[in-house]
Structure 1
Amino acid sequence: MNRLRKLGVVAFVYVLLAGGSADPVETVTDTNVVTGLDFSHSVSLEEHWIVQEGLAQALLSPEILRAIQAGHHGRIGFALFGWHTTIMPLLPWMRIGSADDAELAVQRIRAAIIEQIATEATLRRAESRFGRPTDLSHALSSATAMLLAAPFRSRRSVINIIGNGPDNVNEDAQGARDAALALGFTINGVVLGHDPDVIAYFQQKVVGGPGSFVEHVPSPEGMAEVLRRKFINDIVIGFADGSEPEPDH
């Protein structure tokens, strides 16, 4: 319960930083999706370029748009952040329900990641002896707080974690995972590379909730396809049970 109370406080801070809801009238979405990108030193800057373009191609694909528009409300909430031992906002919550929305999201993501990669390049030259560890627990707790503070109401909330290693800071990721699951959230994972130990770690201590899954990207060429397939699963599973849509207010 201490972790859940702490998440509530952090979520309140996110609301204050965001200035409250982005819409004067509450918006209902089919799914709220927040994605965290691993910026620890085990992920190269070249891999970040590949992830960036994979995200762009996935979000702009016609299959993603069709999946979104087939939902009860025809829109999703989407947010993106980077993480290592700290959290780096990359895309604040925005609503995606059209090709124009997706294009705007991609423009903002590309600009934010380009800026973050430039910052990381400078920091990594200065910190080459030490590196940046992987605080996966913090990433999960922050994603949970972002979902609690989302300006859109939704019957399904999804956390996506994209990374290539286990938590190596303090507490393991399992506690933060369990706190998110206790709130009814789903956590999915994308492992960069094909290390069976990392894949098993994600399966056992990171993902969970209804319809959860772990994907892995064995080669850079497969990034866009894996992310496209992952986002479609995120979106479609949210209304595939045939349940009645919630009314807009």
Structure 2
Amino acid sequence: MEKVDLALCLAVDASSSVDYDEFGLMLGGTAAALRDESVQAAISAGRHGAVAICLLMWSGQGAQAVALPWTRLDSPAATAAFADAVENAPRLVPAGATALGEGMAAGLALLGTLPAEASRLVMDVSGDGRHNQGRSPGPVRDIGVAAGVTINALAVLNEEPDLLDHYRAEVIGGPGSFAMHTPDYAAFAEAIRQKLLREIVGQPLVA
């Protein structure tokens, strides 16, 4: 794979707190965001005009799976094809506890296998619950930051209204890191669109 402007690991919560419909809204919303013209324009606007992206699902301890391997997005057609794959991806991990730190560690390991040189390394964590099993996310976050990875988060507040605070304290880190929230999965598509735009551009968006 040739050089890319960004390597982005999408790490999505597939634990028991995310029911079948919510999981569909999360993946469907991510796919819709990738199909958005502004997101596709941002992908092509970088120095290399390309982003490497992968999709990781995680739930309880020992339950992490690469749903989509590293893929180069360097055209609207490539991005649309990846969006289709996201929307149709099966739920590869069993519903269970929320081993957030374990999911983050798996995402960092994936970034370590990137088959390209990237100007920036980013992990995009999305979920609706705080860590309740396995390694604590804070130390995992610190390992990632030390390795040059920026970790951002999108908190879905349908079950835990204070989840954003947990993500800010324990999950995000690295240059330009940020946490966003959405009230529920119905609004996920717009939230992840804004998040992807901010991650691809690499700086806060002007309202």
Settle same-fold status: TM greater than 0.5.
yes
CA deviation vs aligned residue, 1:63-100 (integer Å, no higher than 9, x gap): 00111111011100000011012112211000012110
Deviation at 1:196, TM superposition (A): 3.8
* 1:179 aligned partner, one-letter code: I
Query: Are the counterparts in 1 of residues 28 and 86 from structure 2 also a CA contact under 8 Å?
Result: no
Query: Are the counterparts in 2 of residues 65 and 97 from structure 1 also a CA contact under 8 Å?
Result: no
Deviation at 1:111, TM superposition (A): 2.4
Equivalent residue in structure 2 for 1:172, among 123, 136, 147: 136
Matched, 1:103 2:68: no
Match of residue 243 from structure 1 = none
Q: What RMSD in Å do the two structures reach over aligned CA positions?
A: 1.7
Aligned residue pairs, count = 201
Q: Which 4+ stretches in 1 moved above 2 angstroms? A: 194-197
5+ long unaligned stretches in structure 2: none
Could you tell me the TM-score, scaled by structure 1's length?
0.77
Q: Within 5 Å, give how 1:65-104 maps onto structure 2.
A: 65-85=40-60, 86-104=63-81
* 2:68 aligned partner, one-letter code: L
Structure 2 residue matching 1:235: 3-state secondary structure? helix
Equivalent residue in structure 2 for 1:46, among 6, 15, 21: 21
CA deviation vs aligned residue, 1:18-40 (integer Å, no higher than 9, x gap): xxxxx4xxx10000000111111
* 1:160 aligned partner, one-letter code: D
The structure with the largest alpha-carbon Rg is: 1
Determine the C-alpha separation between the residues in 1 that align with 2:27 and 2:55: 11
Deviation at 1:41, TM superposition (A): 0.4
Matched, 1:232 2:197: yes
Structure 2 residue matching 1:170: 3-state secondary structure? coil
Structure 1 residue matching 2:88: 3-state secondary structure? helix
Structure with greater helix percent: 1
Match of residue 156 from structure 1 = 120
* 1:168 aligned partner, one-letter code: N
Could you tell me the TM-score, scaled by structure 2's length?
0.92
